[in-house]
Amino acid sequence: MYNIRKITEDLYYIGSDDIRLELFENIHPIEKGVSYNSYLLLDEKSVLFDTVDASKGKEFLEKIKAILNGKELDYLVVHHVEPDHGAMIGEVVGLYPNVKVVASKQAFVFMKQFGAKIEENNMVIVKEGDKVSFGKHEFVFVGAPMVHWPEALVSFDTTTNTLFSADAFGTFSCLYGRLFDDDFNIELELMEEMRKYYTNIVGKFGVQVQTLLKKASTLDIKMICPLHGPIWRTNLGLLLDKYNKWSKYEPEQHGVLICYASMYGNTEAGAMLLANRLKEKGLHNIAVYDVSKTDVSTLIAETFKYSHLVLASPTYNMGIFPIMHNYLEDMKALNVQNKIVGIIENGTWACKAGDEMIKIIKEMKNMIVLEEKVKIMSSLNEESEREIENMADSILKTL
């Protein structure tokens, strides 16, 4: 028998862990895997909330059959059509041809595009504020466009005060038998995965997340059932506070993130010297990354975290070192803002990286570039070391 978990008296968890997936969306490394969450409610009507990735499809259908025990599935609520949640919609409809599918108007367009065949008389189109009763449980639907797809809805069970939140409030990491947030040490086991998930998957859409948070603040939420990660029932205040900060692009911590690219070790030496000087001057909250050795999804998560950012790059083909350039473009694409930025550049005959980095940074919102730029000509010398000292002092003043 496949693992089925009971959440409440009549709500079941029928999701799955995926530890074999190495790249989420074929781009983000996920060492701890990810869960695909789906839920089944047994009220007067039976209601399935979303499906799972195709890789877990066989066991998913077996779980539905086991819980229904020969009964029909009455409703399928689709909050989000992305294939890690919507891949089995067509199979569910094929297995239960009379099932009513509840979704936004645009979601049905996407379902058709992905190949799900749903009869028009089985479509129940809902929008912001619509209510549907399944018996003793009454649900109200709330629009969540661009969190993080345009068709997304969330739904609120007014009977149990449970929010089914689609991709909002999700996190990377398998559950490994643990189902609720209080089963985890959040700071040690979840926070890094939460931050990485939010910043890389939802981070661009801070304005839309703020809109959803304002709507959520009007609801008396006791539990949140997302489509990835644990169900939240204990630490809701912490979760909502993090989402509020991230979606406002406010730093979580006053500290310095130093990201460097280095071809032969000379730019690295400048970055390390700055880190040492900051440490000697009493700053402890410092993180240092080599952009050539660190996946950009980690760099983005760390960028959201810290108040200050230092970028150190050699000049390469009269421009920015390519991997550093890619990181900057990702920052811009994901709407990074509200940072104080220091620049360290290196060049042997034409030192151009600094000016080029500043051009990209100035295309972002509320980014303050420190006047104390460090220029390394091939390798550190007394002048560039003095400039690093000045940059350290400037950073400490702005902290």
pLDDT in tens, 162-179: 999 999 999 999 999 999
Question: 68 and 155 share a domain?
Answer: yes
Q: What letter would DSSP give residue 231?
A: B
Amino acid at 213: L
**pLDDT for position 380:** 97
Question: 244 and 265 share a domain?
Answer: no
Question: 366 and 344 share a domain?
Answer: yes
**pLDDT for position 331:** 98
> In the predicted model, what is the mean pLDDT of residues 129-158?
97
Q: Is the pLDDT of residue 3 over 90?
A: no
Q: What letter would DSSP give residue 204?
A: G
Question: 305 and 354 share a domain?
Answer: yes
Nearest C-alpha neighbor of 165 from the set 92, 79, 267:
79
* Cα distance between residue 350 and residue 377, in whole Å: 9
pLDDT digits (tens, 9 = 90+) for 196-249: 999 999 999 999 999 999 999 999 999 999 999 999 999 999 999 999 999 999
* Cα distance between residue 184 and residue 175, in whole Å: 9
**pLDDT for position 1:** 54
* Cα distance between residue 252 and residue 256, in whole Å: 12
pLDDT, the chain, mean = 97
pLDDT digits (tens, 9 = 90+) for 294-342: 999 999 999 999 999 999 999 999 999 999 999 999 999 999 999 999 9
Q: What is the pTM of this model?
A: 0.94
For the chain, what is the domain count? 2
Q: Which of 225, 248, 271 is the last residue of a domain?
A: 248
Question: 307 and 215 share a domain?
Answer: no
The domain containing residue 267 runs over which residues? 256-398
Handedness of CA 28, 31, 33, 34 (dihedral sign): negative
pLDDT digits (tens, 9 = 90+) for 241-286: 999 999 999 999 999 999 999 999 999 999 999 999 999 999 999 9
Question: 278 and 374 share a domain?
Answer: yes
Question: 236 and 261 share a domain?
Answer: no
pLDDT digits (tens, 9 = 90+) for 94-109: 999 999 999 999 999 9
* Cα distance between residue 257 and residue 300, in whole Å: 11
CATH number at residue 209: 3.60.15.10
Question: 198 and 343 share a domain?
Answer: no
Contact 202, 139 (CB under 8 A): no
